[in-house]
Amino acid sequence: MGESRAKISPMWGTESMGLHTLVGVACPRWGQCEDLVRESPSGRSLPAVRPGNMRAMVVRGNWSGSASVALLLGACGTSVEPTQEPAPRPHIFLISIDTLRQDHVGLYGYERDTTPVIDELARSSMVFERAYTTASYTLIAHMSMLTGLYPRQHGVLTPRSVLSEQVPTLAERLREVGYYTMGFHFPGWLDPNYGFGRGYDHYESHRTAEIAEQHLFAALDKAPKDKPLFCFIHLFDVHNVALVREQEALYEPPAPFDQWFVKDAHEQIAGMKARWIWKKDGSAVNPSQHEAIVGMYDGGIRYVDTKLGEWIEDFRARGLFEDSLFVVTSDHGEGLHQRTNTYGGHGGVFEEGLVVPFLVRFPGGHLGGEHVSEPVSHVDLLPTLLTALGLSSDERLPGFSLLEGRPEGEPLFAERPGFDTMIQWPWKLVQRTEDNRNYLYNLAVDPLEGTNLVLGKRLVKNGQRFESLLELSKQSLEQRFQPEEATPQTDGRSEETRQLLRDLGYADDSD
């Protein structure tokens, strides 16, 4: 079959997606074409437009077909033009569930029924099986998520930095093309003084999902009806409630979710203060106490999942679900005593902190049920949304549209202060910058990262691969990902916010 190059209309909106290889159109009846198939630059065959938007088409050039599929053949100048205007741009809901470990989510294989709502949403979503955050810190990870830049590019690494005015946020990009933008966040790390509030028509903080719900639906009631909506929701209820305060329970979901999975959870941890759990050697926690603590963490997940279910029903009633675009993800995972003496620990570069749930439900369930096994990154989210909306790509962004797929072998990166991490599946390279110690793992055979392949005699066997990965990492970090200079600032957080973060166990400059 010959192939033709054709200008493809975007799924939603009015701008061009650019040139793709046109493969064919699905036509259940002659002249009534429901789906245009394109081949992306990465070689994947994908629907080019939202189903239903190309029912009547004018095709110029030689073509032939059957009642089921019409294939476009190789006449030069073949073009496809929709006779129907593109659909309005969809509402977008981006939901970030702070501290949600991927392997505690049902659709990723967890044995407990923690996420029935998210699991159901996944059935009509594009699911990414190995999605990486850029850092297991709330501040840094969300800045990457909402700018599309790696941490060393956006430069917001401490509470004493603010995003450069030269870096547009997702909210700014969307407001520029006509979106009404709303953001709801837990106070502290996503405060406006870091640059998170830029581009929002409405940006408001909350302490719990219950309060977020009140703020969200009050704002939706007042939102303009003639504009598409962008709604960012940051939920903190899965996160530990106290690492320092003298209270029982490290995780504290509301009843009945506090004992949803372990009925005697409170009895098991009676007398165990949060400070005590943090400070004492982990061996002092017996198996039943460990189960109680993890059960309460899972209860928090079930609580947030239940809330999402209630919200989705409200969205349906308002006509804001079926034709909207939903993203559900997390900024990072949680340690849960897997490697250290602590339960509420995150901030490292191990997989339990970096691998996050990530699913995208396109309007109408478009591409629903597709599972992507290749590693992807939060820096791919913004390019994906730009592609879906038909907006021009930004060459400064290091990520890729997941509608087209990441190029084979393209590495992705994560970091924390003092550590640089590169993943080129199945290899994971960790460089400790303070003393030049290096770690190399084969995640396919060593998912728990227990064997450093460049330690001792193993370096002889793996030296060549290690050197090539090291060079690739150096080229990427030093040449490809040039940093934007974040603006230094005095700490602009209120004393109330600073005290809140101290209560959660954070030092003044940590995340």
- Furthest-apart CA atoms within the chain: distance in Å: 79
3-state class of 399 per DSSP?
A: coil
Same domain, 148 and 208: yes
Residue 135 covered by a domain: yes
- Indicate which CATH number applies to the domain containing 336: 3.40.720.10
Residue 428 CB coordination number (10 Å): 25
Number of domains in the chain: 2
Say whether both 68 and 96 belong to one domain. Answer: no
Output b/e per residue, 204-234; b: 16+ Cβ within 10 A: bbbeebeebbebbeebbeebeeebbbbbbbb
Asked if residue 121 is part of any domain, the answer here is yes
Q: What backbone torsions phi and psi does residue 170 show, to the nearest 5 degrees?
A: -60, -45
For the segment 292-317, what is each residue's pLDDT rounded down to a tens digit? 989 999 999 999 999 999 999 999 99
Residues 67-86, mean pLDDT to the nearest whole number: 41
Domain for residue 231, yes or no? yes
Domain that includes residue 343, residue range: 92-239+305-415
* pLDDT digits 0-9 by tens, 479-489: 566 666 556 55
Yes or no: say if 373 and 390 are a contact pair by the CB < 8 Å rule. no
- Coil/strand/helix, residue 353: helix
Residues 128 and 47 in one domain: no
The better pLDDT of the pair 322, 52 is held by: 322
Element (H or E) spanning 26, and its range? strand 19-26
Q: What pTM, to 2 d.p., does this model score?
A: 0.81
How many Cα atoms occupy the beta-carbon half-sphere of 2 within 13 Å? 13
- Residue 94 burial class via C-beta count within 10 angstroms: exposed 0-12, middle 13-18, buried 19 and up: buried
The sign of the CA dihedral 49, 377, 148, 138 is: positive
Q: Are residues 18 and 124 in the same domain?
A: no
Q: Which amino acid is at 5?
A: R
Instruction: State pLDDT tens for residues 279-296.
Output: 455 456 778 888 998 999
DSSP 446-482: -TT----TTSTTHHHHHHHHHHHHHHHHHHIIIIISP
In a domain, 282, yes or no: no
User: Which range has the top average pLDDT, 18-22, 30-34, 213-217, 404-408?
Assistant: 213-217
Residues 342 and 199 in one domain: yes
Q: Does the pLDDT of residue 184 top 60, yes or no?
A: yes
Taking phi first (over 0 means left), then psi (-120 to 50 degrees means alpha), and beta for anything else, what does residue 9 get? beta
Specify whether 135 is located in the same domain as 194.
yes
One domain for residues 74 and 107: no
- Give the span between the Cα atoms of 351 and 347, in whole angstroms: 11
Q: Give the phi and the psi of residue 256 in degrees, each rounded to 5.
A: -90, 10
Give, in order, the Cα–Cα distances in Å from 353 to each of 98, 167, 350, 443, 484. 11, 27, 6, 15, 26
Residue 105 sits in the same domain as residue 234:
yes
Distance CA 67, CA 88 (A): 30
